[in-house]
Amino acid sequence: MAGRRLRGVAGSPGVALGPAFVFAPAARAERPATASASPEAERARWREARARLEAAYDALLERAGGAEKAGETAEEGLAILEAQRMMAADPGLEAAVEEALAAGRPAEAAVREAVDRYAALFAGLEDAYLRQRAEDVREIGEALLRALAGEEPIPLAELPPGSILCAAELGAGALAALDRQALAGLALGSGGPTSHVAILARSMGVPAVLGLGDFLGELRPGQRLAVDGGSGELWIEPEGETLARLEAAARRERAEREALAALAGEPAVTPDGLSVELAANIGGPGDVGPALEAGAEGVGLFRTEFLVTGRETLPGEEEQAEVYRRVLEAMSGRPVIFRTFDVGGDKPLPALALAPEANPFLGYRAIRIGLEHAELLRTQLRAILRAAAAVAPEAGGEAESPARVMLPMVATLEEVRRARHLFEEVRRELTEEGRLPAGLRVPLGIMVEVPSAALIARQLAREVDFFSIGSNDLVQYTLAADRTNERVAGLYQPLHPAVLRLIGLCGEAAAEAGILCGLCGEMGGDPRATALLVGLGVRELSMAPASLARVKREVRRTPLAEARRLAAQALECATQAEVEELVERFLEGLEAGAAGAGAEGR
């Protein structure tokens, strides 16, 4: 006997067994149309609903904060809740609702329309991190509608320890507020592998199967379940060999998690002594906690676009400087790379009223906008430098700041020189104003994500202080394949020899010039690519915090000399398949070596 098996989609890897906890909050009551209600009355209802939602977030933050201090939940949960609370109070969302109310719309319709419009702005972005914000907005919209209906804005499940939580749907905020120690696994009727709840489950290390459809009717509370988040299967009352297999898999994964956790305090150094900086990609101050908790040695990519995306007015110097200072202070002297606004193209910027483009990925975006709208870039540079000054040592003298400035989508040397000229001009201004110590050095680097930049890397390396390879766009532009287009997704090949050769050019040029070569795209968090990248000269890898431990394990078991040999062989390959085969053999060799060393040590 094996029990019954339901197939969904893989949401978060891992196997978990436990009793079913069926979470089915009552459906939200729809309020009858209130055409006779006055705008003032509807405005009062909307404001009361928002106040109730903010109070609910405050209560959840207090609860999650207490649990975090007790070591019972990850800081990632706090970050999600803080981000959603900030978004619920966002002036842009408020203005959109108020505008609809003023036009005579009922509060429910005003919220729904404003949320749809706001979410659509994020959903259309190419950047996966910012695209996730659309789900946050929709979750906040549902919470506001529940509050307008007089219901609890964020219904929560009170889980018995070791439960498999089963629900038709669950927002990321509700998941973040759960007690991690009580939650063994997750089974949802909705969602997919790229949904925000899936991403959060992976960062929390909770096995999850999503997209199970209308499955709650097949369950009884307390039934023994097994979630296999790698295969996307949910087993109901597994038995016999199936149960033994699932239990063995759960034990293996528990052992691996413990082994990875043991690396948290260890340095990312190869067996022959090369130190590789492992950093985190973040999108706001709330992401710093999870990054540090995962062992990040710095921030390799701070996406500052959250400050401007969807806003009708641009943030001022003071507002920006405060955000940047908070991040630098939270990182306590560790390096933080601030990417200047990578907006335009697929990332609309209402404040500049940019016209839609037929081919936004090759259009008006990033540094091209920054150089043309010099005040936009100047204000941001001033804010970053002021934040750097705010955390600088009081002793004065020559010093290098942990703050680093990175220019996105550089394609030509002229762009770098124009940006450098503006950067130095801003430096002089702030020094003359007494806002920046004369001896404080803030490195200026570029993001290498266009093939032309990689091909002239030697010339660019003389003009900047560091490279950070944006592998997502570099792959996309090298192979002329939009990774979001399913019809050409097969051409999006990060391990293609052409991509590796461009990365190798950057590594060589950086080494010759004595500057750092980092990488902050998805390749940075792929353990299969770690040895190749180190062998190609990459010395800083920035990634999602959840990937740090596995990448550190690869660094610690890969001698530099062997990484260089692997990279040299990969550069001679003709296809990605050949590179993948080479890498697979290399990793098998490392595994065999580790197993042999373990046997000798016993």
Q: Which residues are catalytic?
A: 196, 520
Going 176 to 182 to 186 to 190, the CA torsion angle's sign is negative
Q: How far is CA 159 from CA 166, 291, 493, in A?
A: 11, 27, 42
Q: Which residues of 418-444 are buried (b: 16+ CB within 10 A; e: fewer)?
A: bbeebbeebbeebbeeeebbeebebbb
Q: Which residues pair with 164 in a beta bridge?
A: 20, 185
> Can you tell me the distance from the alpha carbon of 539 to that of 507, in angstroms, rounded to the nearest whole number?
9
Instruction: Provide the CA 87 distance to its chain's centre, in angstroms.
Output: 17
First-to-final CA distance of the chain: 39
255: Cβ contacts below 8 Å, ≥ 6 apart:
none
H/E segment holding residue 6 = strand 4-7
> Can you tell me the distance from the alpha carbon of 277 to that of 51, in angstroms, rounded to the nearest whole number?
43
> Can you tell me the distance from the alpha carbon of 85 to that of 64, in angstroms, rounded to the nearest whole number?
14
Q: Which residues of 546-565 are buried (b: 16+ CB within 10 A; e: fewer)?
A: bbbbbbbbbbebbbbebbee
Question: Would you put residue 37 in left (φ > 0), alpha (ψ -120 to 50) or beta?
Answer: beta
